[in-house]
């Protein structure tokens, strides 16, 4: 082997070994000190920190530590062997309280840099020792000598998003491993109170979901932050039954698939007061997040206070949702049942779905390889390049009959068909706005009750669209799309969920409207589209 390649291989191997070793050591420390898994219960919710990024002192021993454990709820930091003592000596941020008034919950030392005393407005936490106090509810910081001058807590800057512990009643549930759930919630006397429920899967991304859950628990009531890996969204949305006279907001941390899962759960529950859904994108494509103004993706080190600040300026919008009825052709020997799906973003047949299907099959075989967004995008590119040479979807137009609002349209020689509900497709491409044909169509919107239908010539055509070097073949807009697949199978996908579709009649009609929150005003987004066209 070439010496340079061998050096790179050895370097990568060493990095992978160190990462795996640190994870194994972290798990060993958790098991060795018998730290319970995170749950709504009494006691601290510990996670292990390999190296604290700033000078840190143990809240039990008061000496400086380099690594140790930190409570994700209240922020207490201790040496590994002091976790049990901390559970007994230091109370944690309680999710519920029987007190009538809300009081500060002080945690000593380890204050954020440049902290200022809320009482005397002087700097605090500046000495190189465990000194001064921070409230883990309102995040205020005070000097030791000033702590008696402030007692009642107003929950701080994000009080409108927080469910006060004085307003919550918990109860035990479960037969074997019992855990606490929220039994009732009473409305606090907070102006414009609109509680925020955060949903994320701790397994999503490269540990991104777990990091976000921890950070949100440090700001909100821990009961408001729910791990979808343990609890299905139907149970998470119980908040909407407990709080009926105010608008609940649900922040979904995940990709387009997770968002669709939550929207389906909201619809299935038939809530009288459905929540408004907003997005913190963790997926690969994040097309819905893009058109709603929440960005193309975030990382675990994002400052959640920035997210909460952006929510204050969000806009309520409506998202069209579409029903896809698939009725298979009848055969003498094989009878396949019909099925119904719900689409939020787009549905496609042919080459676009083939790339998604190949990626999906590979991820099912080696899920550990696809924990990074960059790796996922590289794999998508690889499968798209592979199909440029193989052209597995050649002559797709011979298998399809397409009707828009009951009118059949002519199909040229194509390898893919895409039906869009939103303006973004394929991880940020906005194909409807790239067209330079003479056809007159309305701009693509997610709230106009119209679908945009376009065709793809090849995988190479997709690559050209991604970089803005080609124009899509726009077939039309319609309120009803009917696709008849005959003469063989074709890859198909709905919102990133792919499969091999057998001959069938596929009908797409309007289903419902979802209540969403957008990070930008929808008119601003569509005005930008028009400006791009003018350029």
State pLDDT tens for residues 76-106. Answer: 999 988 988 998 899 999 899 888 899 999 9
Residue 95: closest CA among 38, 33, 146: 38
CB 421 within 8 A of CB 322: yes
pLDDT band at 294 (very low <50, low <70, confident <90, very high): very high
Strand segments (E) across 434-503: 451-456, 473-478, 480-485, 490-494, 497-501
Residue 419: closest CA among 444, 387, 451, 395: 451
How many CA atoms lie within 13 Å of 169's alpha carbon, on the beta-carbon side? 8
What are the phi and psi torsion angles at 102 (to 5°)? -95, 120
CB 271 within 8 A of CB 220: no
Pairwise CA distance, residues 504 & 334, whole Å: 13
Average of per-residue pLDDT across 333-347: 89
Pairwise CA distance, residues 457 & 397, whole Å: 10
> Would you say residue 212 has pLDDT above 60?
yes
Pairwise CA distance, residues 158 & 215, whole Å: 14
Helix (H, G, I), strand (E, B) or coil at 119: coil
What are the phi and psi torsion angles at 176 (to 5°)? -85, -90
Helix (H, G, I), strand (E, B) or coil at 7: helix
> Would you say residue 385 has pLDDT above 70?
no
Q: What percent of the chain has pLDDT over 90?
A: 51
Pairwise CA distance, residues 162 & 141, whole Å: 19
Pairwise CA distance, residues 204 & 371, whole Å: 8
Q: What is the dihedral of CA 253, 347, 451, 532, to 10 degrees?
A: 70
Length in residues, the chain: 535
Which residue(s) pair with 500 in the sheet? 491
Residue 246: closest CA among 225, 272, 223, 266: 272
pLDDT number for residue 300? 59
> Would you say residue 485 has pLDDT above 80?
yes
pLDDT number for residue 205? 62
Average of per-residue pLDDT across 9-16: 78
Residue 84: Cβ-neighbour burial (10 angstroms; 0-12, 13-18, 19+): middle
> Would you say residue 33 has pLDDT above 70?
no
Sheet holding 346-350, edge to edge: 473-478, 451-456, 416-420, 346-350, 490-494, 497-501
Strand segments (E) across 186-293: 196-200, 225-227, 249-254, 276-281
Residue 444: closest CA among 366, 532, 383, 364: 532
Residue 135: closest CA among 164, 155, 161, 115: 155
Average of per-residue pLDDT across 306-335: 89
**Structure tokens of 354?**
């083939």
What does each C-alpha distance from 166 to 218, 244, 247, 415 come to in angstroms?
17, 18, 20, 60
Domains in the chain, please, with CATH?
Answer: 1-92 (3.30.60.20), 97-154 (3.30.60.20), 165-313 (3.40.50.10330), 322-513 (2.60.200.40)
**Structure tokens of 253?**
């941390």
Which residue would you say has higher pLDDT here, 202 or 248?
Answer: 248
Average of per-residue pLDDT across 149-171: 92
Average pLDDT, the chain: 85
pLDDT band at 530 (very low <50, low <70, confident <90, very high): very low
Strand segments (E) across 243-345: 249-254, 276-281, 315-328, 339-343
> Would you say residue 2 has pLDDT above 70?
no
pLDDT number for residue 167? 93
Average of per-residue pLDDT across 218-245: 89
Pairwise CA distance, residues 383 & 376, whole Å: 11
pLDDT number for residue 529? 47
> Would you say residue 183 has pLDDT above 90?
no
Q: How many CB atoms neighbour CB 505 within 10 A? A: 16
16 contact partners, CB below 8 Å, separation of at least 6: none
Pairwise CA distance, residues 535 & 530, whole Å: 9
Q: What percent of the chain has pLDDT over 70?
A: 84
The DSSP line for 203-214 is TSTTTHHHHHHH
DSSP alpha helix (H) spans, 317-458: 351-365, 373-390
**Structure tokens of 85?**
């003592």
> Would you say residue 418 has pLDDT above 90?
yes
């Amino acid at each position: 082997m070439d010496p340079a390649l061998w050096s790179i291989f050895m370097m990568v191997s060493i990095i992978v070994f160190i990462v795996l070793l640190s994870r194994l050591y972290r798990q060993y420390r958790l098991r060795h000190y018998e730290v319970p898994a995170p749950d709504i219960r009494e006691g601290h919710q510990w996670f292990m920190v390999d190296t604290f990024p700033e000078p840190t002192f143990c809240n039990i021993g008061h000496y400086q530590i380099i690594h140790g454990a930190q409570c994700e709820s209240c922020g207490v930091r201790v040496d590994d062997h002091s976790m049990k003592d901390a559970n007994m000596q230091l109370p944690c941020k309680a999710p519920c309280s029987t007190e009538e008034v809300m009081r500060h919950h002080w945690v000593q030392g380890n204050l954020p840099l440049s902290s200022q005393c809320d009482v005397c407005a002087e700097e605090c936490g500046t000495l190189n020792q465990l000194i001064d106090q921070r409230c883990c509810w309102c995040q205020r910081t005070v000097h030791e000598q000033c702590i008696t001058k402030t007692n009642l807590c107003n929950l701080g800057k994000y009080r409108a998003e927080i469910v006060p512990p004085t307003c919550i009643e918990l109860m035990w549930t479960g037969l074997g491993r019992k855990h606490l759930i929220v039994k009732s919630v009473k409305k606090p006397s907070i102006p414009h109170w609109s509680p925020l429920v955060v949903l994320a899967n701790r397994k999503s991304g490269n540990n991104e979901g777990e990091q976000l859950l921890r950070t949100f628990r440090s700001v909100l009531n821990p009961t408001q932050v729910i791990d979808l890996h343990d609890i299905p969204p139907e149970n998470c949305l119980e908040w909407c039954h407990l709080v009926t006279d105010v608008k609940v907001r649900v922040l979904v941390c995940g990709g387009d698939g997770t968002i669709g899962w939550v929207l389906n759960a909201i619809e299935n529950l038939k809530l009288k007061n459905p929540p408004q859904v907003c997005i913190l994108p963790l997926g690969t494509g994040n097309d819905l997040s893009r058109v709603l103004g929440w960005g193309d993706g975030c990382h675990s080190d994002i400052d959640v206070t920035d997210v909460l600040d952006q929510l204050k300026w969000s806009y309520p919008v409506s998202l069209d949702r579409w029903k896809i009825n698939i009725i298979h052709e009848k055969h003498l020997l094989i009878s396949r049942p019909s099925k119904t799906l719900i689409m939020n973003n787009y549905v496609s047949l042919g080459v676009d779905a083939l790339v998604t299907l190949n990626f999906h099959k590979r991820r099912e075989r080696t899920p550990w390889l696809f924990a990074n967004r960059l790796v996922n995008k590289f794999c998508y590119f690889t499968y798209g390049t592979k199909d440029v040479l193989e052209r597995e979807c050649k002559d797709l137009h011979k298998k399809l009959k397409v009707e828009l609002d009951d009118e059949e349209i002519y199909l040229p020689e194509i390898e893919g068909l895409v039906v869009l509900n939103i303006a973004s497709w394929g991880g940020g491409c906005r194909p409807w706005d790239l067209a330079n044909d003479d056809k007159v169509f309305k701009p693509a919107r997610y709230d106009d009750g119209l679908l945009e239908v376009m065709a793809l010539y090849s995988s190479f055509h997709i690559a050209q669209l991604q970089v803005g070097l080609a124009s899509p073949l726009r077939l039309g807009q319609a309120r009803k799309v009917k696709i008849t697949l005959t003469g063989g199978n074709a890859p198909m996908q709905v919102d990133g969920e792919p499969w091999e579709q057998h001959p069938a009649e596929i009908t797409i009609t309007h289903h419902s409207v979802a209540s969403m929150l957008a990070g930008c005003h929808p008119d601003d987004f569509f005005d930008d589209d028009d400006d791009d066209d003018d350029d």
